[in-house]
Amino acid sequence: MALLTLLAVIAGAIVRQRSLFGVVILFSSYSFLMASVMMVLDAVDVAMTEASVGAGVSSVILLAALHLIKTRETRPIRTQLAPLAVSVLVGGAVIWGSLALPPFGDGDAAIHRHVAPRYLREAVTETHVPNVVTAVLADYRGYDTLGEVTVIFTGGIGVMLLLQGARRRDSAPREKGKETA
């Protein structure tokens, strides 16, 4: 509960913060708190990913991006009433939908009765891998992980094209002389 309260406090601070540098640092601490929440929920694999990707690498990459752009958020141009209404509506719908979820930690929930018992029972004999999370990710749900790796691949190629393609055009001899970086 203390962790969740801290999460809410940091989320509020992120919204209030105008300096983007502060926002990145707050995001990083938000990720670390999220990793702690995952630890409390016994999802160590997720916690590890959250700590390394969310708090580590993505903060560094956001800081590197800040190096290229302005570091202060500009004041909004239009009134914020419409976005506020959308947020309240969507948030309300999510809360309304979550009321129909089974109680937290309920062993009889639908998601725990479909394939999960079979994975827990058979994973070690079928794959000789004691960590069921790894067995599910890399074997039973191999297609999903392949898709995940392809997403990372596509994202990386996209960023490289965006950043390096622009640089190459910059350094190429300019024909019209009007191009700006």
Partner 1 sequence: MSLDVILRVGTKLLLPFILLFALYVQFHGEYGPGGGFQAGVIIAGAVILLTITFGLNVAQRIAPSPVVQFMVPLGVLIYAGTGVAGLLTGRNYLDYSAFAHHSAEGHAFGIMLVEAGVLVTVAGTMTAIFYAFVERGR
**Residues at the contact surface with partner 1, assessed by CB under 8 A:** 44-45, 47-49, 52-53, 56-57, 60-61, 64-65, 67-68, 125-131, 133-135, 137-139, 142-143, 145-146, 149-150, 152-153, 155-157, 159-160, 163-164, 166-167
- Closest to partner 1 by CB, 19 or 154: 154
Please say whether the beta carbons of 24 and 71 come within 8 A: no
State in angstroms the smallest separation of the CB of 17 from partner 1. Answer: 22
Please tell me the distance from the alpha carbon of residue 110 to that of residue 116, in angstroms, as a whole number: 10
**Angle, CA of 66, 62 and 171, to the nearest 5°:** 60
Burial 145-167 (b: 16+ CB within 10 A, else e): eeeeeeeeeeeeeeeeeeeeeee
Please tell me the distance from the alpha carbon of residue 48 to that of residue 34, in angstroms, as a whole number: 10
In angstroms, what CA-CA distances link 179 with 7, 133, 142, 145? 44, 51, 46, 41
State in angstroms the smallest separation of the CB of 9 from partner 1. Answer: 27
State in angstroms the smallest separation of the CB of 69 from partner 1. Answer: 10
- Closest to partner 1 by CB, 117 or 155: 155
- Closest to partner 1 by CB, 40 or 90: 40
- Closest to partner 1 by CB, 53 or 89: 53
- Closest to partner 1 by CB, 67 or 78: 67
Alpha carbons within 13 A on the beta-carbon side of 15: 6
Please tell me the distance from the alpha carbon of residue 19 to that of residue 5, in angstroms, as a whole number: 23
State in angstroms the smallest separation of the CB of 31 from partner 1. Answer: 12
State in angstroms the smallest separation of the CB of 71 from partner 1. Answer: 13
> DSSP class of residue 129?
-
